[in-house]
Amino acid sequence: MTALLEAPSVRPPRLSPLNRRRLDNFRANRRGWWSLWIFLVLFVLTLGAEFIANDRPILVFYKGEVLAPAFVNYPEARFGGFLATTNYRQPFIAEEIAANGWAVWPPVRFSHGTVDGYAAFSGPNPPSWLMSHQTFCQRYPLGVEDPDCHWGNFHWLGTDDRGRDVLARLIHGFRISILFGLMLTVLSSVIGVVAGAVQGYFGGWTDLIFQRVIEIWTSVPALYLLLIISSVIAPSFWVLLGILLLFSWVTLVGIVRAEFLRARNFEYVTAARALGVPNHIIMWRHLLPNAMVATLTFMPFILSGSVATLTSLDFLGFGLPPGSPSLGELLAQGKNNLHAPWLGLTGFFTVAIMMTLLVFIGEAVRDAFDPRKTFA
Amino acid sequence: MTPPLLRVSDLSIRFGAVEAVRHVSFDIAPGETLALVGESGSGKSVTALSVLKLLPRNATIAGSIRYGGDDLLAVPEARLRAVRGNDIGMIFQEPMSSLNPVHTIGRQVGEVLAVHQGLRRTAARRRTLELLHAVGIHDPESRLADYPHQLSGGQRQRVMIAMALANGPKLLIADEPTTALDVTVQAQILALLKRLQQENGLAMLFITHDLSIVRRIADRVCVMTGGEIVETGPVETIFAAPWHDYTRHLLAAAPRGEPLVPAPDAAPVVEARDLKVWFPVRRGLLRRTVGHIRAVDGVDLTIRKGETLGVVGESGSGKSTLGYAIMRLIGSSGRIVVMGQDVQAGSWRGLRPLRRHMQIVFQDSFGSLSPRLSVGQIVEEGLWVHMPRLTAAERAGRVEAAMQEVGLDPAAAGRYPHEFSGGQRQRIAIARALVLEPDFLVLDEPTSALDVSIQAQVVDLLRDIQARRGLSYLFISHDLRVVRAIAHRLIVMRHGTVVEAGPTAAIFADPREDYTRQLIAAAFDLDAGPQGADGPPLPSGPQTE
C-alpha cells in the first residue's frame, strides 16, 4: 500500500506541489489515513506469521548450538529421534530440549495446519478462555498438572472441526489473502495498463480488434472455467493466480485506453513525435503519468475485489488446495458448524474488517486524486 | 450630466491570498462604450464577471457596484437574477463553449425569452427570428433547428449576441467577444455591435487586450495592469497622449521591424511540390469514401537557407496542416524534400535522423510542454534521441546553452512549465527545438497565444536566432502584423490552396487578390475592412426593442 501512495513521487527527488497536495488531501481524510495505518500494521504483523503462530520454536539452544527451527528443517535425529522432520510439540522432544538447553516459542504454539492432539473435545473447541482450567487440561497426560497445559497452548479463538487453531489459521489466512490480492492486483494492473496503453496510443485497427477481443473474452464465464479446471487439476496458489489473472486484467484496460486516446493528441505528445522520440518512450514518459491517476484510484478497489474473489472461491471449495489456511474455508466451516459460532463470527469479522479498511483506503485515495479537490 | 448607468467604486477582489483586482472604480453612462484594456492577468475579465456576481465561490469581493438604485454586491440573489439577462446582458470570448452543444439555437434563444419574459411557443419563435435577423444571421428560419457546431465561429457569436439582447438590456458586457474569431469576422462582429448599440442606445463594457479594437469601438478607455486601473480617459486622448508608462508600453508593443536580408541565391532547404493533405469523408454502413476534405490542396513552396516563409490565412485555411505535413506528423501526398531527403518516403524510424534538422514550435506553449517534466528534462529530451552518446555533463552543457540562447536563466532548468509565464514557456519550446541545432523550424502560430508586448519579444528573439544560425523558418500565423515583421516571402492560403505568393513587401504594398486585400484591410485598418469583407451587407433588421 505504501507503494501505491508514493508511486507518483518516484521521479523528481521532492514531491511535486500537486502530489504534495494529494498527500495532504489523503492525510486530511482521517478515516482513510487511520485505515491505512491499521491495515499496514496488520499486514506487517501477518507477514511475520511464522513468528506469531508456529508449531516450532523460533530459536532453540541445544547442546551448545543455536538452532532456528522456524526457518530450517532439522531432522529428528538431531534431537535423538529417527523421523525426517521434528515435531517440537511432542513431549519427548520438548523434554530433550529442556534438558540440554532452552527454546523460544512464538506466542501461539500452533501453525495453521497443526492438529492439537490434546484439545479438550473432539470437533470444534470453543475459545480456551471460555473453559475452566480443568476442562482445558482434561486431555493432557498429566491433566491440570501437565507442564504443557499453559497459555502458549491456548486456543484464543477456539479450534475448527479438525482441532486446528483458528487464530493461527486466521493469521496465515490473512497473509495469503492479502498477498494473493496484491499479486493479482499488481499483475493485472501491469497487463491492463500495457494493453490499454497500446490500444489507446495506436488507435485505429489495433484498437478496434483488441476491443472486440476483450468483449469476447469478458463474456467467457470465469467461474465455470474455474470449476472445470479445478475438476481436472487441484489448483495451487499459482495456478489459481494465473486463472484469475486471465480474466482480471481487463478491469483497467478501458480507463487506461481512454486516457491514452485523450492524451495522445496533446501537443506535447506531437512535440515529442516531432523530436523523433520512439513510441515506447513517449508512452512511458509522456502518457503513462496521465493514466496513473486513474490506475492508482482503482487499485485499492481491485485489491479488495481480488481478496473477495479468492475468499468466495475458497468458500465454495474451488480455491486454494485443501489444508491451506484461508478465510473462505473458515467461513465454510462456520456455515457447516452452526453450533460453533466462534468459527463463523471470526471469519465474518475478519473479512468484514479487512474489506472495510481496504474500501476506506480506496475512498481516501480516490478523493485525494479528485481534481476538483486537488485544485480547490 | 446624466447619472451613470453603472458605477463601480473601490472594487477589490481576492482569491485566497491572491489579490486579482485592487481598488478599481469606473462609471458607464447610458449609451456609452467603456473599454477595459489590459494584458492577460490584469484582472479585466474578473472585474467584468464581478458586475453580475458570476465569480467562483472562493472569491471575496469588497467595494460597491451600483446599478440603478441597487448595490449589486448587496442585493439578494432573486433581485440579481432579474438584473442578469434582463438589464445587463453578457457575451463571452468563446461562443462554442458558451452555447449548449446539445440544444438547437432556436431553443436556446427561446429559453431566454421564456425565462425572463414568459413568452409562449409561437411568440417566442417569432421574437427569436426577429433577434437572429437583427444580428445578421441569413435566413434565420432555416437556422433555428441548427446545433451550435453547425454554425461558424462568427455565426455562433452572433447567436450569443442575440441571446444577450433578447430582453432589451441597457448594458452589455462583452468579454473579449472577438478574440477567438478570424480578423475579417472580427470586423463584422464589431460593426454589428456598434450598429446594435446605436439602434438600441445600449451602454457597453468592452473587455479586450487588442488596442486596435479599442480605437474602433470605445468612447472611453480604462487601462488595467496588475489588478489596477492605471489610466482612464477618452479614447482619442489615450491614443494621442498616453501619460502612464504602461499605456505607452502597450501602444508601442506591436511587433515591428523588418526581416533580415537573406543571401539572394542560397540553397533551398525545404521544397514541396503539389503537396496535398486530403481527409476522406466516409459515409454509410460500409464506410465508403464519398469525398474528401481538401485541407491542403496542391501547395508548392521553396524555403532557402536563412529565409522565412510566412504562411497566412484564416482558421480552416489549412496553414497548420501544411506545417504538420512538412514535418510528416500527418500523411500527405505530393513531394516534400527537406535537405535533400524525401520526407514521405521510408519508415517513421528511418526519418529519425532527419528530425534533428527540422523542428516545430507550437502555438499553445502550455499544451506543448509536458506538465510533469522539468524544463531541463523537456529541453534535453531530443538529445537522448539524437545524440545518445553524450555524457550527462555534455548534455547539461547543451541544455544550458540553448536556454541562454532563448534568454532563459539556466538555473531554472529544475522548475516545471506551469511556473513560467506564457512568453517564457514559448521560449522553452524554442529552446527544445534549438538544442538539436536544426536547420529548419516550423513555427505554428508561435505568438498567437501571447500578449502583444510578449509577441514582439518573441519575434525579436526568432529574428536574432535566424541571424546567428542562418536558420530557415516556415512561419505560420493569422496575424499579418507579426508576419510582416519576420517573413521574407509570403503565401496566402484559403481553403487549402495558395491564393497569392510573393515577397512580403510586395504583397503588402500591392496585393493582387481580393482576399489578400480583405485580410490586410481587416488587420491594419479595421474601419476600412468590415463591410467589404462581409460579402452581402448586414441586413438592417427590425429594432430589437
- pLDDT 10s digits, B39-86: 877 888 888 888 888 887 778 888 888 887 788 888 888 888 888 878
**What's the confidence (pLDDT) of residue B534?**
37
The pLDDT mean for chain A works out to 85
**Of the listed ranges A8-17, A165-174, B3-12, B295-304, the one predicted with least confidence:** A8-17
pLDDT per residue as tens digits for the range B107-121: 888 888 888 888 888
B372 and chain A: CB distance < 8 Å anywhere?
yes
Report CB contact under 8 Å: A276, B355: yes
Q: How far apart are CA A161 and CA A171, in angstroms?
A: 18
**Of the listed ranges A361-375, B136-150, B438-452, the one predicted with least confidence:** A361-375
B330 and chain A: CB distance < 8 Å anywhere?
no
pLDDT per residue as tens digits for the range B490-503: 999 988 889 999 88
pLDDT per residue as tens digits for the range B118-152: 888 888 888 899 888 888 888 888 888 888 888 87
Chain B 17-76, residues with CB within 8 Å of chain A CB atoms: 58
Mean pLDDT, residues A41-52 taken together: 91
B368 and chain A: CB distance < 8 Å anywhere?
yes
| pLDDT tier, A173 (very low <50, low <70, confident <90, very high otherwise) | very high
Q: How far apart are CA B223 and CA B207, in angstroms?
A: 10
Q: Are B246 and B230 in contact (CB under 8 A)?
A: yes
**What's the confidence (pLDDT) of residue B246?**
84
**Could you give the 3-state DSSP secondary structure of residue B270?**
strand
Report CB contact under 8 Å: B370, A286: yes
Residue B537 pLDDT exceeds 70 = no
Contacting residues of A for B416, CB less than 8 Å apart: 16
Sequence-distant (6+) residues with CB within 8 A of B269 are B303, B304, B305, B338, B339, B439, B440, B472
Report CB contact under 8 Å: B329, A274: yes
Nearest CA distance, A267 vs chain B (angstrom): 4
A267 and chain B: CB distance < 8 Å anywhere?
yes
**What's the confidence (pLDDT) of residue B262?**
63
**What's the confidence (pLDDT) of residue A15?**
67
Residue B295 pLDDT exceeds 70 = yes
Contacting residues of B for A16, CB less than 8 Å apart: 372, 416
B370 and chain A: CB distance < 8 Å anywhere?
yes
pLDDT per residue as tens digits for the range A295-334: 888 888 889 889 998 898 889 888 888 888 889 999 998 9
Half-sphere exposure of B175 (CA within 13 A, CB side): 21
**What's the confidence (pLDDT) of residue B67?**
86
Q: Are B262 and B238 in contact (CB under 8 A)?
A: no
Mean pLDDT, residues B446-462 taken together: 83
Name which of B320, B358, B381 to mutate to probe chain A: the one with the most chain A Cβ atoms within 10 A of its Cβ.
B381
B364 and chain A: CB distance < 8 Å anywhere?
yes
Sequence-distant (6+) residues with CB within 8 A of B227 are B19, B20, B21, B22, B24, B42, B43
The pLDDT mean for chain B works out to 83
Looking up cell 490434546, which residue turns up?
A: A118
Residue B505 pLDDT exceeds 60 = yes
Residue A358 pLDDT exceeds 60 = yes
Residue A4 pLDDT exceeds 60 = no
Q: How far apart are CA A1 and CA B409, in angstroms?
A: 40
A234 vs A262, which has greater pLDDT?
A: A262
What letter would DSSP give residue A151? G
B381 and chain A: CB distance < 8 Å anywhere?
yes
Nearest CA distance, A22 vs chain B (angstrom): 15
Q: A47 vs A177, A178, A331, B337, B486, CA distance in Å?
A: 11, 10, 22, 64, 68
| pLDDT tier, A5 (very low <50, low <70, confident <90, very high otherwise) | very low
A145 and chain B: CB distance < 8 Å anywhere?
no
Report CB contact under 8 Å: A274, B359: yes
Name which of A21, A262, A275 to mutate to probe chain B: the one with the most chain B Cβ atoms within 10 A of its Cβ.
A275
Task: Measure CB to CB from residue A274 to each of B327, B349, B370 and give the nearest one.
Answer: B327
Mean pLDDT, residues B165-193 taken together: 83
**What's the confidence (pLDDT) of residue A19?**
78
Sequence-distant (6+) residues with CB within 8 A of A299 are A4, A185, A189, A362, A365
In the structure grid, which three cell numbers stand for residue A125, read together?
A: 473447541
Percent of chain A residues topping a pLDDT of 90: 23
Residue A13 pLDDT exceeds 70 = no
In A68-145 the beta strands, taken as DSSP E runs, fall at 101-104
ipTM of the complex: 0.71
B317 and chain A: CB distance < 8 Å anywhere?
no
Report CB contact under 8 Å: B385, A278: yes
Mean pLDDT, residues B501-529 taken together: 79
pLDDT per residue as tens digits for the range A195-251: 999 999 988 888 999 999 999 998 988 778 877 887 787 778 888 898 889 888 988
**What's the confidence (pLDDT) of residue B1?**
54
Sequence-distant (6+) residues with CB within 8 A of A45 are A52, A171
Contacting residues of A for B349, CB less than 8 Å apart: 278
